[in-house]
C-alpha cells in the first residue's frame, strides 16, 4: 500500500502557486484515472491508492517537482473525493428509504451515516495535521498534507463503496 501524507490543501496550493513561476503546470497535469480504474477492477483496492498520482508525475513535465507532485496528488484526491461523494449520496438515499420502512423508534440509518461521515472528516483532518507536523515546517509538509488527504479520502471512498455494494438491491 502506498503511504501518502499531508498539510492544509489551500495553504499549500496558495503558497506553491505564489512561489513558483511554473504555476501553469496545473493546466498541463497528465492525470488519468485509467490506471486506478483498471487496478480497482482487478480487486487491488488499497494497492490502487496513489497509482494515478504516480503515473501523473511520470507523464507530467516537472511532475517530480514539489509543485508537480502536489498537482498530481491533488488531482487524484479530487477524483477519489468525487467517487466518495457519489457513493455517499447513493448510500444515503438507500438508507433514507430503509428508514421510511423501519418500525417506529428504530434509529435512523441515514442519520448514522451522516454522523459517521462528519466524524470521518474530523479524523481525516486531524490525522493529516499530525503527518504535517512530522515535517515541522519543512518543504515536504505540503506534499505530506496532499498525500494524506488523498490516501484517507481514497480509503473512505472504498469503505462507502463497499457499504453501497452491500446495500444496493
pLDDT at 107: 95
Burial class (CB in 10 A: 0-12, 13-18, 19+), 114: middle
Q: What are the pLDDT digits (tens) for 22-57?
A: 444 546 888 999 989 999 999 878 889 999 999 999
Which residues are within 8 A (CB) of 145 and not within 5 positions of it... i.e. 6 or more apart?
A: 5, 6, 7, 8, 9, 12, 128, 131, 132
**Residues with Cβ within 8 Å of residue 163, at least 6 apart in sequence:** 87, 91
Q: What is the pLDDT of residues 119-159, one digit of tens each?
A: 999 999 999 999 999 998 788 899 999 999 999 999 999 99
Please say whether the beta carbons of 50 and 155 come within 8 A: no
More confident residue, 122 or 63: 122
At residue 132's C-alpha, the angle toward residues 128 and 138, to 5°, is: 160
Name the CATH code of domain 9-167 (choices 3.90.380.10, 1.10.150.20, 1.20.140.10, 1.20.1270.180): 1.20.1270.180
Per-residue pLDDT at 20: 40
Q: How many CB atoms lie within 10 A of CB 136?
A: 8
The model's pLDDT over 83-116, given as tens digits with 9 standing for 90+, comes to 999 999 999 999 999 999 999 999 999 999 999 9
Q: Among 49-53, 64-68, 165-169, which stretch is predicted with the lowest mean pLDDT?
A: 165-169
What pLDDT is recorded for position 3? Answer: 34
For 39, the grid coordinates are 487496478
Residue 136 pLDDT: 86
The pLDDT score that the predictor gives to residue 27 is 61
Amino acid at each position: 500500500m502506498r503511504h501518502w501524507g499531508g498539510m492544509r490543501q489551500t495553504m499549500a496550493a496558495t503558497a506553491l502557486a505564489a512561489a513558483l513561476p511554473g504555476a501553469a503546470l496545473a493546466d498541463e497535469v497528465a492525470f488519468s484515472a485509467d490506471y486506478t480504474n483498471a487496478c480497482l477492477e482487478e480487486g487491488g483496492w488499497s494497492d490502487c491508492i496513489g497509482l494515478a498520482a504516480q503515473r501523473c508525475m511520470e507523464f507530467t513535465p516537472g511532475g517530480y517537482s514539489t509543485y508537480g507532485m502536489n498537482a498530481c496528488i491533488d488531482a487524484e484526491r479530487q477524483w477519489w473525493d468525487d467517487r466518495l461523494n457519489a457513493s455517499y449520496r447513493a448510500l444515503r438515499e438507500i438508507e433514507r428509504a430503509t428508514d421510511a420502512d423501519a418500525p417506529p423508534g428504530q434509529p435512523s440509518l441515514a442519520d448514522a451515516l451522516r454522523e459517521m461521515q462528519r466524524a470521518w472528516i474530523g479524523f481525516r483532518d486531524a490525522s493529516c495535521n499530525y503527518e504535517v507536523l512530522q515535517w515541522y515546517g519543512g518543504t515536504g509538509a505540503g506534499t505530506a498534507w496532499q498525500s494524506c488527504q488523498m490516501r484517507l479520502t481514497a480509503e473512505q471512498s472504498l469503505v462507502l463503496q463497499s457499504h453501497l455494494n452491500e446495500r444496493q438491491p
